[in-house]
Structure 1
Amino acid sequence: MPSALSSIQLGDPLLHPTVLIMGIPMDDIHAPTVASGPTSGGVPRDLSKLSIVDLMQEKERIEAELSALSSVLSSHGVNMNSSLTTFDGFPRDDIDIAQVRTTRVRIIHLRNDHKEVMSHLEKDLHHHFATLQNAQAAAATNGASTPSAAPSLADNSLADAGMLGTPFAKVNSVVPGSPADQAGLNSGDTVRSFGNVHWLNHERLSKVAETVQQNEGRPLSVKVVRKADSRSGTTMELDLQLTPRRDWGGRGLLGCHLVPL
């Protein structure tokens, strides 16, 4: 049943159907019930006043909600572009159209929010590390360390949350003979970057899947961290070349399972 906030009313089925959303006739059933504005209202208006850690937390919150909303669409067997009408133009009766439309609108808003947060986060990170490098260069020139000149975050929150190049995924398993296996990936490796995807923009690994689909048959640079000695905890960094392909004899384009960290 549609929610109390939205209702769908159909006219005479023998005539052209009329769809009313919140009492407003809609000629296009696929159109959002609410205009897609710049933000969803969940992101603070002045992101420039948030710390890097706060921005990172906002990024994770948005990605978590996007993942949940994607699951809502999947439960209906649709995505952002699926048709909500039958072949002859009538609204489908096998899904809750009102919920699907509302979910799509929320996803549109959140995607805009995510872009805005990412823009501020990347700018702040670049500024932070540029300032840090300048402070270190000045200290080296003066022949003495000046820790007070180096920028810092309270309680080392940035270090706790992760720096640029921080691993964002772990290789959970690798199928023998797969493209991942041939590239040299091992179970337990942690991924720093996958093509152009890194910890700031992976969006709970959805961008990794998108990159794989867009680069079938083309090699991708995958930077991983691997434990060199489990007893000492030493690690080594590897730059592997992984080519997604279908003809390797197994499922998927990679033959490995990644999990977010």
Structure 2
Amino acid sequence: MGLPMDDIHAPTVTSGPTTSGSGVANGSNLEHLSLMELIAEKDKVEEELKALGSVLDSHNVNMNTSLTTFDGYPRADIDVAQIRTTRARIIRLRNDFKNLMSKIETGLHSHYSAAAAAAAAATSQPPATHHEGPTVGGASTASSVPGSVNAASASGLIETPFAKVNSVVEGSPADEAGLKAGDRVRRFGTATWLNHEKLTKVAEVVRQNEGRPIQVKIVRKNPMTQADQELLLHLTPRSGWGGRGLLGCHLVPA
């Protein structure tokens, strides 16, 4: 008849606080980290999750693959113990990642609020001290909003492009805002390289802001110098412009 067995499919998760490989636990420890430190922790967690995923791949299993034979015995062709341990670690790290992203999201909102306030303060200065950059299709160059650039530099935050404009429909909201094919997107409202989730965050920002302007920070090659030029556009999603969607452009992952 045999002895009853634990469910070998269910990973064994130890009790106590969830901790990432770098030793940062869920909860209070995250409160003391700067935005850049949180980003560094996120990168570490992502790297370990990738490595653990490779362990599962080496056994040709995933988080849901059965570890028993059709008659309920542990499979002999895989290392069941290693897979259970790996799955448990992945569960812990996924929880860590969720908490880190929540803190990063809050930090980014604070960062961009401070940048916007600095930009507003800069524009209120007398013209003699304000060096306006050239405008392009409703966009201003980064030099026209020195407050935001200085705020970003001071924080050490690097806004890596996460999307590329593949095409723009003439007469669309994207066209009117100044977007061009080839532009690389650094920020789309609250969507950044840290949280865009394969551009699903961009779609969410668009849906939530129909009829309202969204700040879009892009990088564009200067055709004369071939140097990167940063532009801040204001794009207002809207229907009824004569084409499909609310933007009239096609974005792809960078």
The answer to whether the Cα contact below 8 Å between 2:19 and 2:93 also exists between their aligned partners in 1 is yes
Runs of at least 5 residues in structure 1 that lack an aligned partner in the other structure: 1-14, 20-25, 172-183, 212-222, 243-253
Q: CA deviation at 1:125?
A: 1.4
Whole-Å separation in 2 of the counterparts to 1:101 and 1:58: 25
Whole-Å separation in 2 of the counterparts to 1:54 and 1:79: 31
Deviations along 1:50-69, whole A, 9 cap, x unmatched?
Answer: 11111111111111111111
Deviations along 1:151-191, whole A, 9 cap, x unmatched?
Answer: 977x94644x423xx314789xxxxxxxxxxxx988xx856
**Counterpart among 13, 18, 24 of residue 43 in structure 1:** 24
The verdict on how the C-alpha distance between 1:111 and 1:139 changes in structure 2, with shifts beyond 3 A counting, is same
- Report the equivalent of 2:42: 59
The verdict on how the C-alpha distance between 1:46 and 1:234 changes in structure 2, with shifts beyond 3 A counting, is closer
- Report the equivalent of 1:34: 13
Whole-Å separation in 1 of the counterparts to 2:187 and 2:57: 28
The answer to whether the Cα contact below 8 Å between 2:219 and 2:228 also exists between their aligned partners in 1 is no
SS in 2 for 1:208: coil
Q: Which amino acid aligns with 1:84?
A: L
The verdict on how the C-alpha distance between 1:84 and 1:191 changes in structure 2, with shifts beyond 3 A counting, is farther
SS in 1 for 2:12: coil
- Report the equivalent of 1:70: 53
The verdict on how the C-alpha distance between 1:53 and 1:69 changes in structure 2, with shifts beyond 3 A counting, is same
Whole-Å separation in 2 of the counterparts to 1:129 and 1:138: 14
The verdict on how the C-alpha distance between 1:142 and 1:235 changes in structure 2, with shifts beyond 3 A counting, is closer
The verdict on how the C-alpha distance between 1:38 and 1:80 changes in structure 2, with shifts beyond 3 A counting, is farther
The answer to whether the Cα contact below 8 Å between 2:162 and 2:192 also exists between their aligned partners in 1 is yes
- Report the equivalent of 1:94: 77
Q: How does 1:168-247 map to 2 (within 5 A)?
A: 168=162, 192=186, 198-201=192-195, 207-208=197-198, 227=221, 229=223, 232-234=226-228, 240-241=249-250
Q: Which amino acid aligns with 1:32?
A: P
Q: CA deviation at 1:46?
A: 1.9
Identical aligned residues as a percent: 48
User: Given the two structures, how large is their TM-score scaled by the length of structure 1?
Assistant: 0.56
The verdict on how the C-alpha distance between 1:37 and 1:157 changes in structure 2, with shifts beyond 3 A counting, is farther
The answer to whether the Cα contact below 8 Å between 1:36 and 1:108 also exists between their aligned partners in 2 is no
SS in 1 for 2:250: strand
The verdict on how the C-alpha distance between 1:112 and 1:130 changes in structure 2, with shifts beyond 3 A counting, is same
The verdict on how the C-alpha distance between 1:150 and 1:128 changes in structure 2, with shifts beyond 3 A counting, is same
Q: How does 1:149-160 map to 2 (within 5 A)?
A: 156=153, 158-159=155-156
Q: Does 1:162 align with 2:158?
A: yes
User: Given the two structures, how large is their TM-score scaled by the length of structure 2?
Assistant: 0.57
- Kindly report the root-mean-square deviation, in angstroms, between the aligned alpha carbons of the 2 structures: 4.3
Whole-Å separation in 2 of the counterparts to 1:99 and 1:231: 55
SS in 2 for 1:241: strand
Whole-Å separation in 1 of the counterparts to 2:154 and 2:40: 11
Q: CA deviation at 1:99?
A: 0.6
Whole-Å separation in 1 of the counterparts to 2:63 and 2:8: 13
Q: Which amino acid aligns with 1:76?
A: H
SS in 1 for 2:44: helix
Q: CA deviation at 1:31?
A: 1.2
Aligned residues: 187
Whole-Å separation in 1 of the counterparts to 2:148 and 2:249: 34
Whole-Å separation in 2 of the counterparts to 1:136 and 1:193: 16
Whole-Å separation in 1 of the counterparts to 2:83 and 2:47: 18
